[in-house]
Amino acid sequence: MSLQEVAPSQAREVRLSALKRIARRLAVTNSIAMGVLWLITLLVAALFIYIIISLIVQGASTLISPTFYGTSDAGIAPELFNTFYILILTELILVPLSLAAAIYLVEYSPQGRFITVIHFAAETLSGVPSLVLGMFGFLVFAVYLHLGISRLAGALTLLCLNFPLALRLFESSLESVPGDLREGALALGATKWRAIRTVVLPTALPGIITGVILTAGKIIGEAAALIFTMGLFNPGNVFTLNPLIPSDTLTTHLYYIKGPGAGTLSLTSSQETALAAGLSAVLIILLLIINLSARAIGRAIQRRVTAA
């Protein structure tokens, strides 16, 4: 074997082993990184699952006691009523306004600066902390508009809080309606409004319902915007439709029990904790229901789209 034949094969082996080293290093780095990412993700998932389960388990013993659903200090009947009252009142104002704004932006407005301005305003408003919006609502609705600390003031504050979210959800549901449908209606001689009313809105309806459900979740969970505008106390008779009385909700009541109102109700400390645990569990369960129904509707839309 001559020298000339050995040298190239040795050089090749050197190159080959260098490449193998690089490949091995890459593989090791890759497995370490993937292991870390697996660990992080599983940790986060475990944390989330632990929180939900522990909240429901802690509230379970309260959830099955009948006094929890009564009107005594240990019961949440008034708060449940108020929460759903304020939910419906807010949605009644929020849905028409934000849907109208969304229709204008998607169907009427020319693309350009105006839409940018509205979107910038929406983004800014959605960034304002809900506590600050609560103070704004207190000043403007309760004091300047003389509504007092009342359900109506609370609903108007929640309107300000949820307007950007509702607008975004409604806009995307309108945008997902195919343009052919609009063009077909307009080609038949319909005015724009008639095309929207008879063609676009019915097609976008599932998306609109999902939007309503998602804002409902945010309204039920909101507290910081309500403590200054709707108060932390109930008047004698809560079960009325009067929008001008102060009320508490599930969330603000939970804050009151564990915060400023600890020890003021006719409850022992352990009863207070049990009540708070029950309230947390009820809120979590409501949110789970809302999330599941929004997902179910989303799936129904997808089925319809893929079937068509």
Partner 1 sequence: MQLTQPAQQANRQSRRARLVDRVISVVFLICAILLVAIILAVIFFIASQSFQVFFQGATLKGFFFGTFWDPTGDITGGAPSYGAGGLILGTVITTVFAMIIVVPFAIGTAVFFTEAAPQWLVRIMQPLIEIFTGIPSVVIGFLGLITIIPLIQKLSAPLTGNLPTGGYGWATAILVLVIMVLPTTMSISIDALRAVPGSVREASLALGSTRWQLMYRAVIPACATGLGTAVVLGFTRAIGEALAVALVLGGSQIPNWPWTLAVFFQPNVNITGQITSNFQETAGTAQYAYWTLAFVLLVITLIFVSISRFLSSRSVYK
Interacting positions 166-185 with partner 1 (CB under 8 A): 167
Closer to partner 1 by CB, 135 or 297: give it. Answer: 135
Closer to partner 1 by CB, 8 or 144: give it. Answer: 144
Amino acid at 161: L
User: In the window 20-59, what residues touch partner 1 (CB under 8 A)?
Assistant: 26-27, 29-30, 33-34, 36-38, 40-41, 43-45, 47-49, 51-52, 54-55, 58
Q: Does 10 bind partner 1 (CB under 8 A)?
A: no
Q: Does 19 bind partner 1 (CB under 8 A)?
A: no
Q: Which alpha helices (DSSP H) does 64-76 contain, by range?
A: none
How many residues sit in the footprint of partner 1 (CB under 8 A)?
87
Shortest distance (Å) from residue 19 CB to partner 1: 11
Shortest distance (Å) from residue 117 CB to partner 1: 7
* Residue corresponding to tokens 């409501």: 286
Q: Return the CA Rg of the chain.
A: 28
φ, ψ of residue 273 in degrees (nearest 5): -65, -40
Q: Does 109 bind partner 1 (CB under 8 A)?
A: yes
Q: Does 129 bind partner 1 (CB under 8 A)?
A: yes
Q: Does 77 bind partner 1 (CB under 8 A)?
A: no
Classify the C-alpha dihedral 256-261-265-268 as positive or negative: positive
Interface pick for partner 1 out of 16, 19, 60, 139 (rule CB under 8 A):
139
Q: Does 217 bind partner 1 (CB under 8 A)?
A: yes
Q: Does 136 bind partner 1 (CB under 8 A)?
A: yes
Query: Tokens representing 116?
Result: 């940018």
Contacts of 198 by beta carbon, 8 Å cutoff, 6+ apart: 185, 190
Closer to partner 1 by CB, 135 or 301: give it. Answer: 135
Q: Does 239 bind partner 1 (CB under 8 A)?
A: no
Interface pick for partner 1 out of 86, 174, 223, 230 (rule CB under 8 A):
223
Classify the C-alpha dihedral 253-258-260-262 as positive or negative: positive
Shortest distance (Å) from residue 120 CB to partner 1: 7
Classify the C-alpha dihedral 32-37-40-41 as positive or negative: negative
Instruction: Report how far residue 194's alpha carbon sits from residue 166's, in angstroms, rounded to the nearest whole number.
Output: 23
Instruction: Report how far residue 193's alpha carbon sits from residue 104's, in angstroms, rounded to the nearest whole number.
Output: 10
Residue 227 vs residues 92, 144, 192, 283: alpha-carbon distances, Å: 21, 18, 43, 17
Instruction: Report how far residue 280's alpha carbon sits from residue 251's, in angstroms, rounded to the nearest whole number.
Output: 8
User: What region does 233 belong to: left with phi over 0, alpha with psi -120 to 50, or beta?
Assistant: beta
Q: Does 163 bind partner 1 (CB under 8 A)?
A: yes
User: In the window 260-299, what residues touch partner 1 (CB under 8 A)?
Assistant: 260, 273, 276-277, 280, 283-284, 287-288, 291-292, 295
Q: Does 61 bind partner 1 (CB under 8 A)?
A: no
Instruction: Report how far residue 274's alpha carbon sits from residue 241's, in angstroms, rounded to the nearest whole number.
Output: 30
Interface pick for partner 1 out of 110, 127, 179, 236 (rule CB under 8 A):
127
Closer to partner 1 by CB, 9 or 30: give it. Answer: 30
Closer to partner 1 by CB, 247 or 280: give it. Answer: 280
Closer to partner 1 by CB, 7 or 100: give it. Answer: 100
- Say if residues 137 and 156 touch (Cβ distance below 8 Å): yes
